[in-house]
Amino acid sequence: PQSAAAAAATAAAPAPAPDATTGPPADRTRIALGQPLAKPGGSGALVHRCTLEGVDGELAVKLLDCTNARESSFEALSTEVELCRDLSHPQIVRFLHLSTSLAVPFDGGNPHLAIVMELLPTSLEDLILERRSTMPPRPFSAARLASIVRELVAALSYLHGLSPPLLHRDLKPANIFFDSGALEDDRAESGAACRLRVGDFDTSVRCDSPLVEFIGTPVT
């Protein structure tokens, strides 16, 4: 795992994050951790609320233990850093900052690889489950579905139009996020922009050769 962590740091070093402010260099910027946002995924990464010195408002940070995580997890997170730092589109989660040795007090004080992103607290999966749980269930309106599909197509068109194209490979409701303001806007039910973002690029690849393996989350 240590060699993979070093590779992650080296791969991410050349350029500042696209949305970083003109504050201190990335490796000296302070991250203040907040409450957890999600349970650890298959990689073992933790996701927490956070704040970042020099950036206004709450953000999200994905954390991976540099001491105990699997090498494959480092490789996946390193890939996500390389891919996300250069993406710039209204329907893609914004990458803001990288730290390769963040000490996390609640996880034994071990150094962690940390990716800071904009905070989008609600996923499409959350919305679907919440609407199913009411009595009677509340399906999305046709106009709302059209706005979701329209913004998803815009995100995929951007990713697939890159050179070489970028394939997400795990697009599902849990990886499609909304900002809280969009959810409070009643016009969204009438087809107004829902301002969704596509995130979680840890299984994504640049498609510079034919792909021959299946990957992603099985449908159950």
- Lowest mean per-residue pLDDT among 11-25, 115-129, 167-181, 189-203: 11-25
Instruction: Look at 6 and 220; give whichever has higher pLDDT.
Output: 220
Determine the average pLDDT of the residues in 106-114.
79
Residue 176: the pLDDT is 95
What the chain holds in terms of domains, given with CATH numbers, is: 2-118 (3.30.200.20), 122-206 (1.10.510.10)
Determine the average pLDDT of the residues in 167-179.
92
44 exposure class (CB count in 10 Å sphere: 0-12, 13-18, 19+) = middle
170 tagged catalytic: yes
pLDDT confidence band for 27 (50 / 70 / 90)? very low
| pLDDT tens figures, 120-136 | 988 999 989 999 999 99
Residue 64: the pLDDT is 87
Residue 44: the pLDDT is 76
| Bridge partners (DSSP) listed for residue 73 | none
Catalytic-role residue among 19, 107, 126, 170: 170
State how beta strands 111-118 and 166-167 pair. Answer: unpaired
pLDDT confidence band for 42 (50 / 70 / 90)? low
pLDDT at 93 over 90: yes
CA atoms of 61 and 73, how far apart (whole Å) = 16
pLDDT confidence band for 29 (50 / 70 / 90)? low
Q: What are phi and psi of 190, to 5 degrees?
A: -100, 10
